[in-house]
Amino acid sequence: MITALLTVACLILCCCSATYVERDVISQDPTYYDIYVSGAVENDGCISLIAGSDYATLYDCAGLIDGVSALPDNLSVFLTAYTLEVIVDYTVGDAVYNSVNVNGALVIARIPIPNVEYRVVDKLADFLESNGTITNRDTLREALGDDYEDNYYKFFISRQDYA
């Protein structure tokens, strides 16, 4: 067993080759990260990915919206155990806009939001006052009504509010 551990350490630290490694030393259960994704994606919620996955894999699972989802410069960056929540922003032409927390202060206080019609913010604030927290896309669809398709990706539901 000690020989196997030293051999594995040699492989990792020295990048050399070896002929002997016990199978039970290297066959461990993989680690998964549960990452919450919302904003300008089709499938918001928790996505479980194996350690070593990158942002490109996360975005594939979340379902980017063609021509709308804003992407980071480097999709090959690895996700870590510290990546708990990813909010995807959106684009209109060359401009990038932040997705806004639908249950957050901007909506509750009816503060104008860039690239969102004021009547949409007002509609959401009225819904929150009458019905409480928006917890998923179905509730967001109910709150936005006919304005859903043009606006759902402009808002995100925080991980704490998601149900």
Helix/strand/coil (H, E, C) string of 60-104?
A: HHHCECCCCECCCCCCCCECCCCCCEEEECEEECCEEECCEECCC
Res 28: pLDDT: 65
- Beta carbons of 79 and 49 less than 8 angstroms apart: yes
Q: Measure the CA angle with vertex 96, ends 92 and 101; round to 5°.
A: 100
Other Cβ atoms within 10 Å of 90 Cβ, number: 20
- Distance, in Å, from the CA atom of 60 to the CA atom of 5, rounded to the nearest integer, reads 37
Torsion of CA 116, 90, 155, 56, to 10 degrees: 180
Taking the model in full, what pTM does it have?
A: 0.77
Torsion of CA 76, 163, 39, 137, to 10 degrees: 130
Tokens standing for residue 136: 């998923």
- Residue pLDDT tens, the chain, 163 long: 443 333 333 333 333 333 333 434 444 668 999 999 999 999 999 999 999 999 999 999 999 999 899 988 888 999 988 889 999 999 999 999 999 999 999 999 999 999 999 999 999 999 999 999 999 999 999 999 999 999 999 999 999 999 8
Closest to 73 measured CA to CA, from 84, 85, 89: 89
